Every structure is written in C-alpha cells, then in structure tokens.
Amino acid sequence: MTTKEDKELFKKEMRARGVTPLKKRHDRVLYKKSAPKIKNNSKSITSSHDEGTIELMLEAFVSCSPEEKLFFARPDLPIKTIRKLRQAKIEFEAKIDLHAMNIEEAKEALQQFLMYCQQQRIGAVLVIHGKGRAIIKSAVASWLQSYPQTLAFCSAQPKDGGAGAIYLLLKKKKGRR
C-alpha cells in the first residue's frame, strides 16, 4: 500500500527531474506528424471516400477482458503481412493514446485520427486504448472491424503496450499527398 510519504517523495522526485502533469485529456493524443485542425459542424464526423465514410457508432459492442489479445484481419490479406504486423516488423507512422478518455471522447479522437491518417496516406499506426475495465478496448475493436479502411489489427508487443494497445494496418487512400 502506498503511504502519504511515498506519494510526496514521488512528487518531489518528479519535480526535481522537470516532469509536469498533463493539463488536459486531449493532450494524450499523440501524432508523429502534426495533425491539421479539422472543422466540422455536424454531431458525428464523417468523411467521404471510395470505400465508405468514417462514422464510428456508439452502439452495443462485444466486451473483452483487459488481458485479452485482439486480432482481426480481412480475408484477402497475405499471411506474410499479418505475421509482420503481429511481430511489430512494420514501421508505424503515427500513434494515438485513448486511455483515460471516456467513450465519447475516445470515439471523437479516433474519428479525427482516422481522418488524419486517411488524408496523410498513413497505413500503419499504434492505437493505445489501455486496459482498465476494457470498455475503450472493446469499443475500439468493434469500431475498427466495421471501418472499411481497416485491413488488420492485433494486440501490441509488450514494449508497445501489450494488451493495452493495438497495431493497426489501414488501406492507404490513393492519390497525391
């Protein structure tokens, strides 16, 4: 059990090393490249493209346990690509951190992130959903399975978050950057 003295010692050490806490929840969303501000007046964010729209629904989804390993792949995806994804042998171009968000915030952040990836023709990303009670984890798995641009996803290696994160492979939008 952590005592008051332990907490104070920890805070003192962190201050001495120049560590500061995050101010806002949306500071947790990380992009490798700078993300453009996307303005949209509608309640749900949609983006038209050849394969459909980005609209993640807050519908019922199958829940999974915090330690459960996730996996999904389109049937026509080569086994070699799936193996590379599972072994983290694909270079990830961007990442997003959704844990500590509520379901609505996570949905909004993921929609924005997917639109950004689509615009930038990003094909491989890391999505950190956290474990906790696995609500966000379950929702993310459900959303990404129904998203037409998803080629595959699987739980990350321990170095990248293990059961609290997934590697996601997306179809790249054709055209120029």
What are the structural domain ranges in the chain?
24-170
DSSP 106: H
pLDDT of residue 31: 44
Q: How many CB atoms lie within 10 A of CB 164?
A: 20
**pTM of the predicted structure, to 2 decimals:** 0.66
| Predicted pLDDT of residue 60 | 54
- Asked whether the beta carbons of 135 and 98 are under 8 A apart, the reply is no
Q: How far apart are CA 95 and CA 172, in angstroms?
A: 16
Q: What is the pLDDT along the chain (177 residues), one digit of tens a residue?
A: 678 888 888 788 878 877 766 655 444 444 433 333 333 332 333 333 444 445 555 555 667 888 999 999 999 999 999 999 999 999 999 999 998 899 999 999 999 999 999 999 999 999 999 988 788 999 999 999 989 999 999 999 999 999 999 999 999 876 554
Count the Cβ atoms, other than its own, within 10 Å of residue 155: 21
Give me the CATH code for the 24-170 domain, please.
3.30.1370.110
DSSP-derived 3-state class of residue 102: coil
Tokens of 44: 């749900």
Give the bridge partners for 33, in sequence order: none
Check if the beta carbon of residue 107 is closer than 8 Å to that of residue 58: yes
Q: Report the distance separating Cα 71 and Cα 35, nearest Å.
A: 27
